[in-house]
Every structure is written in structure tokens, then in C-alpha cells.
Amino acid sequence: MLAEYLKIIRVSTKFVPRLLTEDQKNNHLNVCYDLREKVGNDPQILFKVVTGDETWCYGYNPKTKQALSQRKTPNSLKAKKVRQVSSNVKIMLISFFDANGIAHKEFVPPGQTVNQQFYLKVLQRLHNSIRKKRPEMWSSSDWFLHHDNAPTHMALSVQQFLVKNKITVIPHPPYSPNLAPRYFFLFPCMKDQVKGNCFADVSKVKKKMLEFLNNIKSEEFQKCFQQWEKCWYKCIESKGKYFEGD
């Protein structure tokens, strides 16, 4: 066949968060160039960044197709499974971490919306956690906050708090989870721990999540920030587009 002769193969479509405009691609590029320059001027800057966000933790997360794959012979029957969805038992977790480990974590009370008033209180608690767990960073104010540009994070009250407490924010371009350490490291690893497990109530979900967070080795966090730096270069090489491996 012609396809075989030309070595053409069929591949699955790759899903991306958004079809980026040229302006959005340029924004991705500019942020990555800026971060690369900052590290060039101060190689220790990656140890001064605290990054975080919120995510849902479910009582049940279905296993992926890859996790359910089995070895089989040509004559054996193909395994089947019923389509399942995530459980209604869920709790939202907010966590912040740096290259040394978890800096702050808390669960959002059921029914509470993460609006600007609530997020402002979260940042206040984060600030107190930095004071207790990272006293040198807190006393010198030599640390950076990295979060996305969700409306809640960009609210005027939040910006005023950051300025008042001399907290510098590392920019994050819109629609770029591939450039956020929590999305390519912490959250996927955390959710892999519970895939296929079923927890009857929220308290057991919280216990499992805290157990996981408390057991992550500091070396893993350091590798995460090294990977983050590599992502900037991949983004630059791809001219601001979503790159392979994200």
C-alpha cells in the first residue's frame, strides 16, 4: 500500500487546553524568556519560588485504560470494564510547595467557594506558614509566589495584600498548565495514589491525601523545579506552542 511505502502511520489526536492565538503564544514565549533570564541572573531563584493552586480530591477515581491494560495471547478474550465516573464524595485541597517541600496545605470547607475573600485568607495563612517553616525567606522577603491568573488570584484585594507584604509574583501565562509545576508534578502524582480506590467519606480522602503529601521526599520537589526550568526551554523551542511531552 502507498501508506506503507511512504511509512505513514495513523496517530491519535492530541488534546490541548486551547487553540492558542499568536498573542497567547507570544505571551508564553515572553514569560519563559523572562524566567530564563531571572535564573541566569540568580541561579538560586528556583529555591525561592512557592507555587500552588487548588484541586478536587475524590473518594473514587477510575483507573486509566493504561492502568487496566493486561497481557494476553492471540486466543484470550479481551478484558472489559464498565464506564465509571469520579465519586460525589469529594473535597477541595489547596496546597503550596517549594523546592524543599510542602509550605502550606488546607482543605476548603464543604460548600465554600474559593472567591477573592476566601483566597485572601488562604494567602494570609500561607504567609504565616512561610514565617514558621521558612523563617529566612520570610524575614528577608526574598521569595516569590507563583500562581495562575484566575480572576480570584488577580482580584484587587489580593494584589493589595501581596504589595503590602512585599510578595513578588512570578508571572504565569494563561492556558499553560504545561508550565505549572503543580499540574505536571504534584496533582498527577497525588491523584495516581487514589486511582481505583474507593473511600466512603471525605475524612478518609483527606487522610489519604495528607499521608501522600507528608511522604513526598524533598528530592522529588527539587526534580520538579528542575523539570519546570526545562519546560521553559521546550516552550521557547516550540515558539510558544504546546510542546511534546507536556
Domain positions in the chain are 20-64+85-237
Which one of 3.90.1150.10, 3.40.1180.10, 3.30.420.10, 3.30.70.420 gives the CATH number of domain 20-64+85-237? 3.30.420.10
| pLDDT of 170 | 94
| CA–CA distance, 101 with 199 (Å, rounded to integer) | 26
| pLDDT of 68 | 41
Look at strands 101-108 and 90-98 and give their pairing.
Answer: antiparallel
Positive or negative, the CA dihedral 169, 146, 96, 58 is positive
Beta strands, E only, 33-122:
49-58, 90-98, 101-108
| CA–CA distance, 38 with 220 (Å, rounded to integer) | 23
Closest CA to 170 of 156, 191, 153, 190: 153
**pLDDT tens, position by position, for the chain (246 residues)?**
555 666 666 655 555 677 889 999 999 999 999 999 999 999 899 999 999 999 998 887 655 444 444 455 555 545 544 444 455 788 999 999 999 999 999 999 999 999 999 999 999 999 999 999 999 988 888 899 999 989 999 999 999 999 999 999 999 999 998 899 998 899 988 888 777 777 888 899 899 999 999 999 999 999 999 999 999 999 999 999 987 654
How many C-alpha atoms does 236 have within 13 Å on its Cβ side?
Answer: 14
Query: All 3 cell numbers of residue 136?
Result: 529566612
Residue 80 gets which letter from DSSP? -
| pLDDT of 8 | 67
| pLDDT of 10 | 61
| pLDDT of 61 | 60
